[in-house]
Amino acid sequence: MTPSPLPFRIGYGEDAHRLAPGRPLVLGGVSIPQAERGAVAHSDGDAVLHALADALLSGLSLGDIGQYYPDTDPAHAGLDSREILMHALRLVQERNYVPANAALVVTLDRPKLGPLRRAIARNLATLLDLKDTEVGVSFKTSEGLAPDHVQVRATVLLVRVAG
Ligand SMILES: [Zn+2]
């Protein structure tokens, strides 16, 4: 007998990018104006959206974004990562699940992102069709352990809807 689908599924994703001068830094779809360095990446290097997309996919055992957007494919160069997130969200919705809330931890030594918390949370909420209060974003520094990287960890709770 096949068990009925779980009403809730947890998803978890991580992403990290090396930082280098002369590149823009975009996190959660928000340009970080004070950043002196940006992500080295094949796409736009938005580690927040990458971790979140992987969290959505992992929640339903759908693999990871590397399978859908391999970094060896020149067609994905400079890709807007909102497209990656929306693709992952579509795959989840097609299986009759929607995100109920998301929680993220962004580890970056500089610049301090606290002033951008609301802008990032609001942008993520809009993309995921959630309320601002359903997206929690925490900021940490690496305490100098990884000053040349941005790292993001993301969890989402997926809820089954009728369908
Ligand atoms: Zn990435």
What's the pLDDT at 156?
98
Interval between CA 16 and ligand 1 midpoint (Å)? 6
What's the pLDDT at 58?
98
Query: 39-58: per-residue pLDDT in tens?
Result: 999 889 999 999 999 999 99
Interval between CA 162 and ligand 1 midpoint (Å)? 33
* CA separation for the pair 98, 78 (Å, rounded): 28
**Measuring CA to CA, which residue among 1, 48, 6 is closest to residue 26?**
48
Contact status, residue 12 vs residue 103, Cβ threshold 8 Å: no
What's the pLDDT at 1?
65
Query: 71-94: per-residue pLDDT in tens?
Result: 888 888 888 999 999 999 999 999
What's the pLDDT at 155?
98
What's the pLDDT at 71?
83
What's the pLDDT at 79?
87
* CA separation for the pair 102, 108 (Å, rounded): 19
HEC letters along the chain: CCCCCCCEEEEEEEEEEEEEECCCCEECCEECCCCCEEECCCCCCCHHHHHHHHHHHHHCCCCCHHHHCCCCCHHHCCCCHHHHHHHHHHHHHHCCEEEEEEEEEEECCCCCCHHHHHHHHHHHHHHHCCCHHHEEEEEECCCCCCCCEEEEEEEEEEEECCC
What's the pLDDT at 75?
83
Interval between CA 131 and ligand 1 midpoint (Å)? 25
CATH number belonging to domain 8-160: 3.30.1330.50
What's the pLDDT at 76?
82
* CA separation for the pair 106, 152 (Å, rounded): 5
Interval between CA 98 and ligand 1 midpoint (Å)? 23
* Residues of the chain where predicted confidence (pLDDT) is lower than 50: none
What's the pLDDT at 74?
85
Interval between CA 47 and ligand 1 midpoint (Å)? 5
Interval between CA 141 and ligand 1 midpoint (Å)? 18
Interval between CA 17 and ligand 1 midpoint (Å)? 6
The amino acid that residue 20 corresponds to is A
Interval between CA 1 and ligand 1 midpoint (Å)? 40
Interval between CA 46 and ligand 1 midpoint (Å)? 6
Interval between CA 145 and ligand 1 midpoint (Å)? 20
* Domain chopping of the chain, boundaries: 8-160
Interval between CA 86 and ligand 1 midpoint (Å)? 15
